Amino acid sequence: MTPEEFWTIVEGARSHPEPTHAALINQLAARSLEDILDFQERFDELEALVKRWDVWAAAYLIGGGCSDDAFSVFRAGLIALGHDWFERAVRLPDALADHPAVTGTIEELDRPIFYEAFQFAASSAYERRSGDGDAFWEALQAREEAAEAIGHDMGEDFDFDDSAEMHRCLPRLASLFLPTG
């Protein structure tokens, strides 16, 4: 699946009045099982792009803390925000300070930045299409075992509880969520 195809599917789901994850499940369930796996592989590739310390620090500030699991949910939420916001977060996580859900100018109840249901849309669609809840994970694991493992560098680690460090790395988000003193 090309990046363009992936983002067309995501943007299509975002354009529906129903919650984005529900629209995504419906769109994916109408495709072949291979297409659903292709979507998940592209999703995983994009999620890996934002598996970095500076992005984790942004999640930590926005969420008032951020565990390993919450960071995974946050990365899925960045994808759910759509291509434009995702690319902004890849380039500069501090740009999330402009997102309406962060600034409080809108509430995105069905499209939150921490979006767990979006993370599992492909597996839900696969289960709906195949009738087997375990088949998705087995098929995905088989694909992963066939591919070569690629290491991932999250960049330089830093202390999220160090206010000065957070102000240095993410000045705009830190100014929203941390005291300046």
State the amino acid at position 39 in one-letter form.
F
Find the mean pLDDT for residues 150-170. 82
pLDDT digits (tens, 9 = 90+) for 59-69: 999 999 999 99
Banded model confidence at residue 134, pLDDT cuts 50, 70, 90 = confident
pLDDT digits (tens, 9 = 90+) for 22-49: 999 999 999 999 999 999 999 999 999 9
Averaged over 150-177, what is the pLDDT?
84
Helices 3-14 and 33-49 sit at what angle, rounded to 10 degrees? 90
Domain ranges of the chain: 3-177
Cα separations in angstroms, 139 against 84, 116, 124, 149? 31, 21, 14, 17
d(CA 92, CA 76): 17
Question: Measuring CA to CA, how many Å separate 45 from each of 42, 75, 82, 145?
Answer: 5, 11, 15, 15
Is pLDDT above 70 for 149? no
Average pLDDT for the chain: 89
pLDDT at 142 over 90: no
pLDDT digits (tens, 9 = 90+) for 165-180: 999 889 999 999 987 7
